[in-house]
Structure 1
Amino acid sequence: MSMHVEHNQTDSRQMAASGLRVAMNIMERWGATREQMGKILRVSASTLARSKAENGSAAKLDDDQLDRISHVLNIHAALRTLFENPANLYGFVAMPNQNGFFNGRSPLEVMSDGSFASLYETHRHIDGLRGAQW
């Protein structure tokens, strides 16, 4: 039985590491700096570096970090629904936005303050742009 638990923990860590790498790749395409990535995902620079390394594995991620990764992936999914053009798909997050929530800042700037609420609300606002498109 304990072998089964260890196997599931290993699988979970591998999935978390994969999710972190995908989220980092998306944020790189958005033009995010490593510092911004660290704040958005609440992970250290060393965790980002280990994740980026070939066949690298991430440190054990907590539920908050996994939720943050999920929000980044879901923002990307919403943008893929909205835009076919890669320039818009990846550029939108870095563009200043006049929506009341963003108040002239880019979604990337808002998320980069590091608070979970900013990331959540950014996801909620971008997802809301889809309307009934999904």
Structure 2
Amino acid sequence: MSNANVQHQHIDIHSAHASKVGFDAAVTILQHWGCKTEAITNILRVNRSSYFAYKSGKKAFILDKDQLTRISYILNIHAALRQFFTNPENIYGYMSMINHNPYFEGRKPLEIIEAGDFGALHEVYNRVDQLRSGGWA
């Protein structure tokens, strides 16, 4: 197939549709990791009432840049785990496993990010992403 036959579609990341798709994907991943509602709302920086309204699909919403970046980190952590592991137990269980590598120091990656600190989410993403290139996280 030549490049001339490939169609590119512009996605408006500032649309309600993009926000809904990203939010739903991130929530599904976080739930598979074992996150409870409070941790999900902290990680995504969404208040509890908005979380339930967004989840129900009854309210259109547009996420801000910080929230979209948080979703991006969650999706990319998940992609790195899927690339590194082949079994669902590790793909979804890694974030709840005690990790003794540097930075984690015996903590679970999930317990580091569940308070919602952006810097912690960024650092956990960086460490997990290193798995793709043969590094250790």
Quick check: 1:18 aligned with 2:21?
Answer: yes
Q: Which amino acid aligns with 1:50?
A: A
Q: Partner of 2:80 in structure 1? A: 78
Residue 132 of structure 1, CA deviation = 5.7
Contact persistence 2:76–2:125 (CA under 8 A): yes
Find 2:38's aligned residue among 35, 39, 43: 35
Measured in 2, the distance between the counterparts of 1:19 and 1:36 equals 17
Unaligned runs of 5+ in 1: 1-7
Q: Partner of 1:3 in structure 2? A: none
Measured in 2, the distance between the counterparts of 1:112 and 1:82 equals 23
Measured in 1, the distance between the counterparts of 2:67 and 2:14 equals 17
Alignment of 1:66-105 (within 5 A): 66-105=68-107
Deviations 1:4-36 (Å, cap 9, x if unpaired)?
A: xxxx97971111111001100000000011111
Unaligned runs of 5+ in 2: 1-10
Query: As a proportion of its length, which structure holds more helix?
Result: 1
Contact persistence 2:98–2:106 (CA under 8 A): yes
Which stretches of structure 1, 4 residues or longer, exceed 6 Å deviation after superposition?
Answer: 8-11
Q: Which amino acid aligns with 2:32?
A: R
Deviations 1:83-109 (Å, cap 9, x if unpaired)?
A: 110111000001111112111111100
Q: Percent identity?
A: 42
* Cα RMSD for the two superposed structures: 2.1
Contact persistence 1:20–1:58 (CA under 8 A): no
